[in-house]
Amino acid sequence: MSVARNVVVIGTQWGDEGKGKIVDWLTDRAQGVVRFQGGHNAGHTLVIGDKKTVLHLIPSGILRSQVDCFIGNGVVLSPEALLAEMDELGQAGVKNVEARLIISEACPLILPYHVALDQAREAAKKIGTTGRGIGPAYEDKAARRALRLQDLMHPERFAAKLETLLDFHNFVLKNYYKQATIDFRKTLDETLALAPRLVPLIADVPRALYHANKAGKNLLFEGAQGALLDIDHGTYPYVTSSNCVAGAAAAGAGIGPMHLHYVLGITKAYSTRVGEGPFPTELSDDVGERLRQRGREFGATTGRPRRTGWFDAAALKRSIQLNGVSGLCITKLDVLDGAETLKICVGYKIDGELSEILPVGAEELERCEPVYEEMPGWQENTVGVKAHDKLPKAARDYLARVEKLCGVPIDMISTGPERDETIVLRHPFQP
């Protein structure tokens, strides 16, 4: 039996690191791409030629015509959002989307009452969610009351479960949040009307991945958000509702952890964050706005302006340890072109004591004062550079310092949005 070289791709900050482009680029050596957590609250932006595509649920590998794409049981699934994305891809000329999309029967469904609850809660307590029902859907899963994709195969069972769920959630909407309730019959009819397109996509994903791995196929596991938004390990409570660290690929896809061979950590050459929560290196000045405009830092899902800041090596150290990162991919290096000086956060002062790693939880992080090293910038243009030795010396020095601070090799560098605007020092799929 040949041994597969399976790769997990995760974001090491608060998301938005350019995972979509890198997953798409790596797919030329993969036979399957797997989403293992999150929902349609994360957007992966791909730029191919003059065409821009934003994916929220479907793995980025769908743009490669010979690649199977899996959605694992760790993903909470909006039927409407999924079908809309499939239709958009079809209209864009992507071939055989439905034939190549394989979805776990155990995916919990996001339905209208989840969205209503999410939006009511966000209005009451600002966390920075997208209001798309992700959190309430994961709550139903944890409470063992979720409707799952497989329930659509049994309309009577689906209706009985839905009625019980709506009794519970409508009580909360009406009596606690003072919001309108969700109609049972309308929800039932509209959801079951989507079933004929969804049911043919259902499969036993863990079994399919087992056989693919046994056959020696390369599998690529695509995370959403970033490790610092992980429900257990992120800047709680300003986090997402799922586990987005690399280890979640095993549970969220249904594959043994011994079959995950390499973890690629994606991180920008600076830092960004969307939504609420502490952000020690945030820049609220002209420098931060320059990063935002040059990097087009606006959320792919919501359009919200991203908060920007200097590179945070102390936060990256935490993420590297959590994820067992094998190698780093630095994205958007070109955004730093033209800066006279650059800063790297190498640690924090907390109550007068120096810490070289991100503390746990938002309350502790809010007390942190960043400690910076300053480095010279470069005036040369790095957009589209495809060889490491063609980068300006100051850029190479900057990357070398990041590498030394974090203790993990930089294996890839992205210098632009196009597939081929990538410097490869070590390919993740190489043994």
Residues annotated catalytic, as ranges? 16, 44
- Give the span between the Cα atoms of 234 and 226, in whole angstroms: 9
169, 182 contact by CB (below 8 A): yes
- Give the span between the Cα atoms of 103 and 86, in whole angstroms: 13
408, 318 contact by CB (below 8 A): no
- Give the span between the Cα atoms of 22 and 39, in whole angstroms: 19
- Give the span between the Cα atoms of 35 and 103, in whole angstroms: 10
- Give the span between the Cα atoms of 332 and 341, in whole angstroms: 17
CA of 74: how far to CAs of 11, 219, 232, in Å? 17, 17, 15
Residue closest to 17 by CA, chosen among 423, 421, 417, 419 = 417
Q: What kind and span of H or E run contains 46?
A: strand 44-48
For 423, phi and psi rounded to 5 degrees?
-100, 125
Structure tokens at 247: 């280890």
20, 418 contact by CB (below 8 A): no
356, 312 contact by CB (below 8 A): no
275, 266 contact by CB (below 8 A): no
- Helices 184-198, 79-91: crossing angle, 10 deg rounding: 40
CA angle 301, 120, 303 (to 5 degrees): 15
- Give the span between the Cα atoms of 45 and 21, in whole angstroms: 7
Residues 6+ apart with CB under 8 A from 240: 38, 41, 134, 225, 229, 230, 231, 234
Q: Measured on CA atoms in the order 75, 14, 219, 82, is the torsion positive or negative? A: positive
Antiparallel, parallel or unpaired: β 422-424 and 202-203 = unpaired
- Give the span between the Cα atoms of 225 and 212, in whole angstroms: 26
